[in-house]
Amino acid sequence: MFIAAAVLSALLAFAALGAGIPKITLKGSVPELLQEHLGVSASLTRLIGVAEAAAAVGLVAGIFWHPLGIAAAAGLVIVFAGAVVYHGRAGDYADPKARGGAIGPIVLGLVALAAIATSALTI
């Protein structure tokens, strides 16, 4: 189970860091989408990016100390749940053009839950 936990944590850390850096720097299409389409402020966008980057670091460290990895993955579940709510309010799940981008937080949230489960089983 350790290998599954390590692989899920590493993949999730890679995704979280890749999503967090553009939000911290406010560069690229994702921060623009958050601010214009979903109505997220620039400061909240940066905060989300910092949370994702911190979770990435916690997930990598959590490979060696599982409680930290579990906490980092749980934090990402909360971040992704918030993203699902924002996308739902914007009507992205009903819009076929926007649905593809809105599914990402659901999938990553499920991966974060799987990382929690596998890490918890290795303790």
Contact 109, 75 (CB under 8 A): no
Number of domains in the chain: 1
> What are 7-12's contacts with CB under 8 Å, separation 24+?
8/111, 8/114, 8/115, 8/118, 9/59, 9/60, 9/62, 9/63, 9/69, 9/73, 9/115, 9/119, 10/59, 10/60, 10/63, 11/111, 12/56, 12/59, 12/73, 12/76, 12/108, 12/111, 12/112, 12/115
Model pLDDT, residue 26: 92
Mean of pLDDT values over 64-86: 96
Domain that holds residue 62: 2-121
Model pLDDT, residue 98: 86
Model pLDDT, residue 94: 92
When pLDDT is cut at 50, 70 and 90, the band that residue 122 belongs to is: confident
